[in-house]
Homo-oligomer: A and B are copies of this chain.
Amino acid sequence: MTTVVPVEKKVLSENQRIAEELRQGYAKRGTLCLNIISSPGSGKTTLLENTLAGFSKQDKVAVLTGDLQTENDARRLARYGFPVQQIVTGTVCHLDGRMIERALQPWSSTEIHLLFIENVGNLVCPSSYDLGEEAKIVVLSVTEGEDKPLKYPSIFSKAALMILTKIDLLPYVPFSLEQAKANARQVHPGIEIIEVSCLTGEGLDRWQQWLAHRRATAGQRMACAGI
């Protein structure tokens, strides 16, 4: 495996270069970009469906969604009337800057204030690839066990926010919310945490408030920078 290390470094440093360009592009266009990462089946798409349903048609929201195969997620998300694109990665286990750059090209004249990137379902590899985002968000469902922040520390240490999903299942699964939060804070003391159920709607207002706050903060920053 030693031969892969310099190449991996080269790939990551090339990715970092593209990510910086993407970041500058977002700043110029006034786009807040959020990179959502989780295991397969944690409920990223369902969370995004609920999130898009809460926006009005005037909101300039767009979604890029990554999967190895199928356009299922893009189809699900497109029903809400916002621009959505599927990135099919084939065998690649994560999204990288180049894929995002390419996907954004057809939207070069589209006004986007909020861009959600739904990464490939994988709690490991996507955490290494900066996509120029304002923040990474890690989604963990309560069915996955409270030990995951300790076992997959990279993504939990880099994410600004952990969204605990499927809390309606808490009565039926052996999962301690307190332990999960303590584990996440052990890895990343400053991580913000929101608990939601997309089935009952519980906690979605807190997620919307978080989004509104991030948008306001990013907007102020851009205004100060004269963008």
Contacts and interface: CB of A to CB of B under 8 A. Distances in A.
Copies of this chain? 2
Given A93-B93, A122-B123, A124-B120, A148 B10 contact: no
B125 A124 contact: yes
Contact of A153 (B1, B69, B154): B69
A27 to B, nearest CB: 25
B151 A91 contact: no
A213 to B, nearest CB: 29
Interface string A1-21: 101100110110000000000
Interface residues of A, number: 43
Interface string A166-187: 1011001100000000000000
Interface stretch (A28-36, A54-62, A104-112, A139-147): A139-147
Interface of A: 1, 3-4, 7-8, 10-11, 39-41, 67-70, 72, 91-93, 96, 98, 120-125, 128, 141, 143-145, 147-148, 150-154, 166, 168-169, 172-173
Given A41-B141, A91-B124, 13 more contacts: A39-B121, A40-B148, A40-B152, A68-B124, A68-B154, A69-B151, A70-B150, A72-B150, A72-B151, A93-B124, A122-B122, A122-B123, A143-B143
